[in-house]
Structure 1
């Protein structure tokens, strides 16, 4: 049927004269079946002609003129569904046929201003019609010509009227009406998220930011009931702030949006659990909004302040354990990192508060545990934080759970990166080929290709796609000397990192030389000598680094030998002590269990003691001793004669 153009034929003849609505109903059922089949794309393509759209427009108008019975209302909604499906085609002439203008009237005009035959009520079918019309706006917004039509029909005003919070709580009989209003409010917010970026000037002219911030306040009064409204409202704010339009962002900042959003995200975090995907999405979007607001304005970063720093630190402490759990945890972590970069880095006040709360350490913890896709942005943030003089000592003092220092972690990342890139290294991680100290597998494959003059070479492209350049810059900011916590393997890698820039410059020159050769261009003698000198310089530097690595490994080997000898000596001494203790114990057991052995031991000890005693000397046998007497002190007492003098004497044996 579709090959014969059935969809277009049925649509063109659906307005033939017949008893009211019966033939139109049959045609609608046929179109529904065709659109619901596997050939839906072909059916939509047939309905996108101008004649078919005009026929749909006439059918829609005729159905609206009928009495508002349930069957007629359902048929009207069927026609709107067909219109929505063909509106997905960018070539559909809905605007040219003025059908879109007619449909917009049912959105932009209040129900009281519509004729009685077309008046919309609060029935379920009319609610479906309103939702279909709002959804149609999203599809029409993809057409550039629709913006002018939206402006003429005051679509922005109507959407903001839909999203406005109710002024008072309705009475109990009106609870059903309230439910419908909330459904329309959700659909209008979804529509506004697509249309507001397209009609930004109209959005600002209608004070869209004010309406949305008031709606957020209204949602915060009862989060559980109005969580979906808050979710859609935050989506709209993210859509308009992501454009980077300063007038929009400044207006939000002037109305206190930064403080308000920080309060909301803290409240959401208090009630959020790991399985609450809606709340996680809202927190992620709020962080992205804050990033867009603060990224280019120092004053807004100051407004972010300690409250914002506390929020960011709280989310960083969660780590990356749930990164692959789904439900938006990965987006929340990425938005948190982006919030650090946009809202904290670049402002001394927030940077100092962030560092004081161990923010740099949290970033290093995240670098240690996060997936590969996160490493680039974390390293970039750390590089920017080094503009603060307090960062370096904090980085050097940091240790991970295994006791590894920051330089050691960075060097391990370097080795992992080179392994992934296929850089040629020996078994100890040293330079294997001095002619290619940094060459990756990708560069080696395309080494025989020539690039155009305005295209970057492989050596330059390589720096954009891996982390080695950022690691080099970080270690250069830390200083290559006296880095704490480095192993021998780290020292071997550090020798390559120190010369990374020199190797890269020489690598680019070698590429130039290779491309000249591929293009059959022979340099002049002086240029040839210069290129040869550069190449030899590269080899010389690489060779010196390789020799230094060999020396480090040899020293480590000698140190290991000395350590092995020392440990062996300790083991030998310990074994000797054990043997002596065992022998002493055996002797003790023998003495206590055998009386003859005990007697022999006692006799041996007596003999030993007797041999040590010296015989007593008789007084006459003592040799005479001679002394020299010294007068140490003399004092007069005042009495006459010799008794008036007191003399202190001392003697020394000669």
Structure 2
């Protein structure tokens, strides 16, 4: 049969052929003569399956899948040659493309065959067969070769292997005797493929046991101490990556129980911390790429292992911080023989500082022993100094540090930030004693003097970290706030001037502004000297400018800072003086934030902000839906939690400081809101009492008569207070409506007056036309004018005097006034004097003319 089908089996005959193959395979155990036919049939199965029609791929798809699975089942035969032939058949079937021309048949494509292999359970079968090959090394290596190919090409095959605990099965064979060294290599490669193409979490879980961790430990130590070739170093690094994978996904894996954690700590620190352990006595790491990667992988896995608290004692015993702090020093341009190159040292330095950010807060005693604060401040001084250094920027940690010291400065500040975040008194005091506050302020004032919109993302992050560090150092300590001093206030004022349009730039300006406000709160507020200078520099105005335009998430911290700042009596005047956009005042802005807060939490109000439910004047939708829940005494009730979760309590406290009356620039809507704000404390106390009464009812607690009377009195008082607030709000709105109606009437009166003026102008023009076109009308108008003039005189008796001069011209046919000149009849004496004057003027000499004139005038 094998001779007849020497070019491959047709798909239509596969069912019978596989049946014959199974019969022969079952008889191999009793008769060795069947071993040869089984191998011959398997060799033919290595050729592509043949199709008579193009549709055979669809028609015989399931038969092909079952046939491939049956080929895998032949691994049950207790014959090494048969098992090896099964593996060779599978490799030939899935890797070799046959293009020979056959009469009446066409070979199936390699793509179709690989797809059928994925649909079969051949991968599961091969994994299970490893248990049968404990003493059959050649067959085991061949199976691993097939699994290596299957896992590299298909994610589905990887999932099948993992479904039958393939990770653990393969890892358990790591240290089996193998003169060819293929076993470990192929096993590691399969696990690597499972990691890349399969479910990493499942693989890590399968390796999370003492047996597998022990195998990984032994294989790694063997390759590290006995391997010398390039291949051995690569395999050693791959094992460490697999170990890191298990440690990352399974933090409580038995690394401590197997001693692997101790060994890893030893290998990571033996260069920096001398050890007499036999494993590292003759161990040396060179500057080649593989050893450099090993060093970085060792630092990384210790960082991952630190998630397990039981590993911390091992790291402390291994003096891991001392080893890492050996890299926290200024970079040198020259390196000694067998030391890392400058580029390699820079990468290790940055990774060491990144690891210290995680390990130092966990090992505070070791940090203080290593004088970590001193080392960091010295490195910080070098980073901002004038010493020339050009970073290589070759690693993930050196972002933005090519050609400068930014990467070192960035990680130095990150490490300082991690340490001050612990809030450990000794650490904070040690930094303050060494002048960290003034040094950090100096860094901001000298190294970051350009405008913030000119900074990149890394520079913004570093400035944010410095402000955060200063906040942690000065928080709650008056002496440290005094050390912050005037230079610190000037620095904070400069950052509060940051353009708020940069908040959405994506570079981290929102964090920078938040850090500035936090630094104001922690480093300035509370010290009279810095507070007064901050007020002189219009710091309150800057905070309100930021409050007006910043996102809602920043409101809480700004309001908290302003509230504590209001303990200074000078602050209230600054708040009342502030003006924002369009003349907005601080009181109007606070009322607006209050209304927005109530809308967000769902407090019941009408369109004008009036209380709708007097029984729940402050309660939001979430709290109302939650209802009364009986809680233990150690838990905070919903009413009390509401004070902490929103900003209404801060706004009330601010108004309490600046007053509720005589506030500038507030509208009627603000007055309506103020009516609630002013009674917030009483209404909140009433809400808490209502909750207490409700909880007593939930717990079936019946108060005594005296307590019952007190409860009823409280309930009435709460209801009355809410009704008073609602009545006040309604009265305010009614007064507003009445005032609007009066204003409307005045506006209409002005319109009517304007209309009357227009009508008068039309009448005057009509009268003018009549006077100019009709003499009778003109004459009548003249008479009316004369009568009007006579009536308007205050002293009509002058008309009866002897010398009365008329102001009008007789027989003038015009109603306009005559002009500025009038005709006056002189008396006889006046006429005589005028004649004498004229005669004298003609006879007197020019030189005595003026004197004669004066005499006559006298």
If the length of structure 1 is used for normalisation, what is the TM-score? 0.86
Give 2:642's aligned residue.
462
2:705 matches 1:537: no
Q: 2:207 aligns with which of 26, 47, 68?
A: 47
Q: For 1:243, which of 391, 415, 422 is the aligned residue? A: 422
Aligned to 1:188: 352
CA distance 1:272–1:124, shift in 2 (3 Å)? farther
Measured in 2, the distance between the counterparts of 1:392 and 1:142 equals 49
Of 12, 15, 33, which residue of structure 1 is paired with 2:175?
Answer: 15
- Secondary structure of 1:196's counterpart equals helix
Whether the 8 Å contact between 1:21 and 1:63 is mirrored in structure 2 is no
1:201 corresponds to: 365
Report whether the alignment pairs 1:127 with 2:292. yes
Q: Is the 8 A contact 1:319 1:366 kept in 2?
A: no
Structural mapping, 1:123-162, within 5 Å? 123-162=288-327
Superposition deviation, residue 213 in structure 1? 1.3
The 1:424/1:57 distance shift into structure 2, 3 A limit, reads: closer
| Distance (Å, rounded) in 1 between the aligned partners of 2:280 and 2:316 | 23
Which residue number in structure 1 is paired with residue 56 of structure 2? Answer: none
TM-aligned CA deviation for residue 275 of structure 1? 7.2
CA distance in 1, matches of 2:764, 2:529: 73
1:66/1:117 contact within 8 Å kept: no
Shift of 1:291: 1.0
Cα distance in 1 between the residues matched to 2:209 and 2:746: 92
Q: Counterparts in 2 of 1:245-324, with a 5 A limit?
A: 245-266=424-445, 267-268=447-448, 270=450, 273=453, 276-318=456-498, 320-324=500-504
Distance in 1 of aligned mates of 2:460 and 2:247: 33
In the alignment, what sits opposite 1:5? 165
- Answer yes or no: is the 8 Å Cα contact 2:264–2:302 preserved in 1: no
> How far apart, CA to CA, are the structure 2 residues paired with 1:231 and 1:259?
18
User: Which one has a bigger Cα radius of gyration?
Assistant: 2
Matches within 5 A, 1:568-607: 568-581=748-761, 597=773
In the alignment, which residue of structure 1 is the partner of 2:255?
94
SS in 2 for 1:318: coil
> In structure 2, what is the equivalent of residue 552 of structure 1?
732
Deviation (angstroms), 1:602: 7.0
1:21–1:104 distance in 2 versus 1, CA, 3 Å: farther
Whole-Å separation in 2 of the counterparts to 1:617 and 1:338:
93
Quote the offset at 1:46 in angstroms.
Answer: 2.5
User: CA distance change for structure 1 residues 457 and 206 in 2, over 3 Å: closer, same or farther?
Assistant: closer
| Paired residues of 1:510 and 1:531 also in contact (CA < 8 A) | no
Aligned partner of 2:821 in structure 1 is none
Check conservation: 1:67, 1:117, Cα contact below 8 A. no
More divergent stretch after superposition (559-568 vs 606-615): 606-615
CA displacement 1:241-277 (0-9 Å, x = unmatched): 1111111111111222112212223423527547722
Q: Which one is further off, 508-517 or 495-504?
A: 508-517
Query: 1:582 offset after TM fit, Å?
Result: 5.6
SS of 1:402's equivalent in the other structure is: helix
CA displacement at 1:596 relative to structure 2: 6.0
1:104 aligns with 2:274: no
1:141 is displaced (CA, Å) by: 1.6
1:111, 1:119 within 8 Å by CA — same for their partners in 2?
no
2:377 matched to 1:213? yes
Name the counterpart of 1:337. Answer: 517
Aligned positions, number: 617
Which stretch shifts more, 434-443 or 141-150?
434-443
TM-score norm. by structure 2 comes to 0.67
Residue 295 of structure 1: how far off its partner (Å): 0.5
SS in 1 for 2:309: coil
In the TM superposition, residue 452 of structure 1 has moved relative to its aligned partner by 4.4
Residues 254 and 567 (structure 1), Cα distance of their counterparts in 2 relative to 1, 3 Å cut: same
Q: 1:189 deviation in Å?
A: 0.7
In structure 2, which of residues 606, 609, 622 is the aligned counterpart of residue 426 of structure 1?
606
State the Cα deviation string for residues 28-69 of structure 1 (Å, max 9, x = none).
211211222322222222223222222222222332344633
Give the match for residue 634 of structure 1.
Answer: none
**Could you tell me how far 1:135 is from its partner in structure 2?**
0.6
Matched with 1:38 is: 198
Contact 2:312/2:363 (<8 A) preserved: yes
CA displacement 1:396-426 (0-9 Å, x = unmatched): 1112112122122212222222222222223
**CA distance, structure 2, for counterparts of residue 105 and residue 203 of structure 1:** 19
Structure 1 unmatched ranges of 5 or more: 622-654
Give 1:651's aligned residue.
none
For 1:432, what is the secondary structure of its paired residue?
A: coil
* 1:347 pairs with 2:530: no
1 CA distance for matches of 2:715 and 2:722?
11
Report the Cα distance in structure 2 between the residues aligned to 1:176 and 1:451, rounded to whole angstroms. 62
CA shift for structure 1 position 586:
7.4
**How do 1:368-407 residues align onto structure 2 when only pairs under 5 Å count?**
368-407=548-587
The Cα shift of 1:181 comes to 0.7
2:155 maps to which residue?
Answer: none
In the aligned structure 2, how far is the partner of 1:601 from the partner of 1:364?
73
Structure 1 window deviating more from structure 2 (1-10 vs 407-416): it is 1-10
Provide closer, same or farther for how the CA distance between residues 17 and 207 of structure 1 changes in structure 2, counting only shifts above 3 A.
Answer: same
How far 1:192 sits from its partner (Å)?
0.9
Tell me if the contact between 1:48 and 1:86 (Cα under 8 Å) persists in the aligned partners. yes
1:416 is matched with which residue: 588, 596, 620?
A: 596
Moved more, 182-191 or 253-262: 253-262
Instruction: After TM superposition, give the deviation of residue 308 of structure 1 in Å.
Output: 1.7
From 307, 325, 328, give the equivalent of 1:163: 328
Indicate how the Cα distance of structure 1 residues 444 and 158 shifts in structure 2: closer, same or farther if over 3 A, else same.
Answer: closer
Q: What SS does structure 1 have at the residue aligned with 2:709? A: helix
Residue 609 to residue 409, structure 1, CA distance change in 2 (3 Å): closer
CA distance in 2, matches of 1:441, 1:448: 13
Find the counterpart in structure 1 of residue 230 from structure 2: 70
- Quick one: distance in 1 between partners of 2:532 and 2:526? 11
- RMSD between aligned residues: 3.2
Q: 1:153 to 1:523 in 2, by over 3 A?
A: closer
Q: Deviations over 1:449-477 (max 9, x none)?
A: 44445544433232222222222111111
Judged with a 3 Å threshold, the aligned counterparts in structure 2 of structure 1 residues 66 and 587 are, in CA distance, closer, same or farther, namely: farther
Give, in whole Å, the separation in 2 of the partners of 1:570 and 1:620.
Answer: 50
Deviation at 1:389, TM superposition (A): 1.2
With over 3 angstroms needed to count, the CA separation of the structure-2 counterparts of 1:211 and 1:127, relative to structure 1, is same
Give 1:161 shift: 0.7
